[in-house]
Homo-oligomer: A and B are copies of this chain.
């Protein structure tokens, strides 16, 4: 299951991407338009800013705005920041590799074999999809 965090984060990115300009948009505005709890969204936007997707401005007239063009934002990056590893098991993860302690031989493991295929299929999608592709 996709977490609400990822779902809301994606929706917020898409909302900001479809603004006519890159002027700051208030959290309250995004929350209202996308039906998201404002406080929860606040923490999500914060991590998106910390990870280089958004800029922010404090005080009156402040808010969040995209700092890259939607075409440059790959879904791989978004998913890794919001949802974590793309692989379903650490032993097939490119960025978060870990050996399974219960599995003596990865090359002989059926789970490993299947999850490699799944990882590749997902990477293919996320790499070839940008924020620009998912806005209407």
Contacts and interface: CB of A to CB of B under 8 A. Distances in A.
Interface string A110-136: 110111011001101110010001111
Given A2-B88, A35-B102, A36-B102, A135 B110 contact: yes
Chain A: number of interface residues, binned into ranges: 35 or more
Interface string A79-121: 0000011001100000000000011000011110111011001
Interface stretch (A7-15, A20-28, A45-53, A56-64): A7-15
A35 to B, nearest CB: 4
A89 to B, nearest CB: 5
B114 A75 contact: yes
Interface of A: 1-2, 7, 10-11, 13-14, 34-36, 75, 84-85, 88-89, 102-103, 108-111, 113-115, 117-118, 121-122, 124-126, 129, 133-136
